[in-house]
């Protein structure tokens, strides 16, 4: 039986790949909620470098992006006193658990994953890591008995799969894993690319100028990118699900999320104004919201030793949870434990 303790805090697990520039889509879709709810919850936020290498990464760049993402986690306001912030590859249980879960996961479940289908269509050769990517993600979540997984919409299928894998393992080996809940934001679950509002803003394209706004981009760059963002030939500044209004709607959603104003207030505010004014105001709102992030980020990047120290501490705390869970999983599967002679 799983232990249920009403006084225990809800446990949260989520992660981001250190595979490119972190953008406002990552922030509005996921990290903002992590920060807002961190005091009420027990939090595990991972930098998933083992997921990142499912597509080619330059080793020195990966190292840089990993520390960079750690600094961004802290700069957006995650408090290391209440959040366990750690690098996936520094906790070996993730790889170990992934292997065992691979052995209870039908290949058909993995071949159906949208992200796999898209990425394997793009790449010339598909490695096995790309196929089992969601099993590693399930291992991340299940090792911590997470109650909630707050992510953007593009991750719902992976979290559903983690639930299926948990249930299948529990069925085969007896109650072992908590079945986690997917948590999506009400607004901002899918921020669109500024140069093409029919597609999501994506880390793998964030280095292309005009696609995304990085969390630590400087104000002039933000103004430039928002001013050049794709809208339409109309004049109407209203929230809309219409395809040709996706650009304006995206800017309005960003504005809504960052100002906390209601859609009615926002539409009234922009009534009679043109797209140039909309873009200017959206840019200023983004700049103001990101200014403290950029400052803290710079301070953190100036002290890489402190950053590595915090990550070491995080990995140790994560192991404190993952290692005993791993021992339980191995026992359930029937592996002979190492004897303490
Ligand atoms: P990734 O960039 O794929 O590592 O995603 C990290 C987190 O950000 C996940 O929770 C994603 O669902 C979320 N995310 C990524 N892109 C977007 C986007 N364009 N809009 C909203 N959330 C996003
Ligand atoms: N696949 C997720 C993404 O690209 C990252 C991720 C890996 C993750 N492990 C996770 C998210 C566990 C939530 C929980 O966004």
Q: Are residue 232 and residue 179 in the same domain, yes or no?
A: no
Among positive and negative, which fits the CA dihedral 88, 91, 94, 99? positive
Q: Are residue 212 and residue 167 in the same domain, yes or no?
A: no
Q: State pLDDT tens for residues 274-297.
A: 999 999 999 999 999 999 999 999
Q: Are residue 83 and residue 180 in the same domain, yes or no?
A: yes
Give distance in angstroms: CA of 14 to centre of ligand 2. 6
Ordered alpha helix ranges (H), 28-58: 32-37, 49-52
15 lines ligand 1 (CB under 6 A): no
pLDDT at residue 25, rounded to an integer: 95
- Is the residue at 1 inside a domain? no
Strand partners, 149: 182
Q: State pLDDT tens for residues 18-69.
A: 999 999 999 999 999 999 999 999 999 999 999 999 999 999 999 999 999 9
Give distance in angstroms: CA of 114 to centre of ligand 2. 14
Residue ranges in the chain whose pLDDT is less than 70? 1-7, 123-124
Find the angle CA(219)-CA(58)-CA(199) to the nearest 5 degrees: 50
Total number of domains in the chain: 2
- Is the residue at 6 inside a domain? no
Measured from the alpha carbon of residue 135, the closest ligand is: 2
Order of strands, edge to edge, in the sheet holding 11-16?
83-87, 42-47, 11-16, 148-150, 181-183
Residues tagged active-site: 119, 200, 203
Residue with structure tokens 């669109």? 192
196 lines ligand 1 (CB under 6 A): no
DSSP letters of 54-91?
Answer: TS---HHHHHHHHHHHHHHHHHTT--TTTEEEEEGGGS
Measured from the alpha carbon of residue 133, the closest ligand is: 2
pLDDT at residue 121, rounded to an integer: 85
> Residues with Cβ within 6 A of ligand 2?
13-17, 48, 51, 137, 140-141, 149, 151, 155, 158
pLDDT at residue 188, rounded to an integer: 75
Q: Are residue 122 and residue 240 in the same domain, yes or no?
A: no
Q: Are residue 21 and residue 162 in the same domain, yes or no?
A: yes
Q: Are residue 290 and residue 142 in the same domain, yes or no?
A: no
Check: CB of residue 28 under 8 Å from CB of residue 191: yes
Tokens of 48: 């998933």
Among positive and negative, which fits the CA dihedral 126, 132, 137, 139? negative
Among positive and negative, which fits the CA dihedral 308, 293, 158, 41? positive
d(CA 188, CA 167): 30
- Is the residue at 168 inside a domain? yes
Check: CB of residue 31 under 8 Å from CB of residue 83: no
- Is the residue at 252 inside a domain? yes
Residue 297: alpha-carbon gap to chain centroid: 18
Q: Are residue 215 and residue 73 in the same domain, yes or no?
A: no
Domain span at 24? 11-184+304-333
Find the angle CA(127)-CA(25)-CA(296) to the nearest 5 degrees: 105
Read off the CATH number of the domain in which 23 is found. Answer: 3.40.50.620
279 lines ligand 1 (CB under 6 A): no
pLDDT at residue 330, rounded to an integer: 98
Pocket test for ligand 2, best of 18, 23, 140 (most atoms within 8 A of CB): 140
Q: Are residue 46 and residue 111 in the same domain, yes or no?
A: yes
d(CA 79, CA 7): 22
d(CA 243, CA 317): 46
Q: Are residue 175 and residue 38 in the same domain, yes or no?
A: yes
pLDDT at residue 153, rounded to an integer: 92
Residue of minimum CA distance from atom 11 in ligand 1: 152
Q: Are residue 48 and residue 154 in the same domain, yes or no?
A: yes
pLDDT at residue 124, rounded to an integer: 67
Q: Are residue 127 and residue 17 in the same domain, yes or no?
A: yes
Residue of minimum CA distance from atom 15 in ligand 1: 26
Check: CB of residue 159 under 8 Å from CB of residue 132: no
pTM over 0.75: yes
Residue of minimum CA distance from atom 7 in ligand 1: 26
Q: Are residue 239 and residue 137 in the same domain, yes or no?
A: no
Read off the CATH number of the domain in which 232 is found. Answer: 1.10.240.10
- Is the residue at 197 inside a domain? no
* Residue 153 Cα: closest atom of ligand 1: 12
d(CA 151, CA 51): 16
29 lines ligand 1 (CB under 6 A): yes
Give distance in angstroms: CA of 60 to centre of ligand 2. 22
């Amino acid at each position: 039986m799983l232990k249920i303790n009403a006084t225990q805090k809800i446990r949260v697990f989520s992660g981001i790949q250190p595979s490119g520039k972190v953008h406002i889509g990552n922030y509005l879709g996921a990290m903002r909620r992590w920060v807002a709810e961190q005091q009420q919850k027990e939090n595990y936020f991972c930098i998933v470098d083992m997921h990142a290498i499912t597509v080619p990464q330059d080793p020195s760049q990966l190292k840089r992006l990993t520390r960079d993402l750690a600094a961004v986690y802290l700069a957006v306001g995650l408090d290391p006193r209440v959040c366990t912030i750690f690098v996936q590859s520094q906790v070996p249980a993730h790889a170990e658990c992934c292997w065992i879960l691979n052995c209870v996961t039908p290949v058909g479940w993995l071949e159906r994953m949208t992200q796999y289908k898209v990425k394997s269509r793009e790449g010339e050769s598909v490695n096995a890591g790309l196929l089992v990517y969601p099993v590693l993600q399930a291992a991340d979540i299940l090792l911590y008995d997470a109650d909630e997984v707050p992510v953007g919409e593009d991750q719902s299928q992976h979290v559903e799969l983690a639930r299926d894998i948990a249930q299948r393992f529990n069925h085969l080996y007896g109650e072992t894993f908590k079945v986690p809940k997917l948590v999506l934001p009400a607004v901002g679950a899918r921020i669109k690319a500024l140069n093409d509002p029919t597609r999501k803003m994506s880390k793998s394209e964030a280095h292309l100028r005009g696609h995304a706004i990085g969390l630590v981009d400087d104000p002039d760059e933000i103004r430039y990118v928002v001013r050049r963002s794709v809208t339409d030939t109309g004049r109407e500044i209203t929230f809309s699900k219409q395809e040709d209004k996706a650009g304006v709607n995206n800017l309005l959603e960003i504005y809504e999320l960052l100002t906390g104003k209601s859609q009615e207030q926002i539409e009234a505010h922009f009534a009679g104004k043109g797209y140039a004014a909309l873009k200017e105001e959206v840019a200023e709102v983004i700049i103001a919201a990101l200014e403290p992030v950029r400052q803290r980020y710079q301070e953190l990047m100036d002290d890489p030793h402190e950053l590595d120290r915090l990550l070491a501490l995080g990995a140790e705390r994560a192991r404190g949870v993952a290692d005993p869970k791993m021992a339980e999983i191995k026992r359930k599967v029937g592996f002979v434990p190492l004897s303490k002679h």
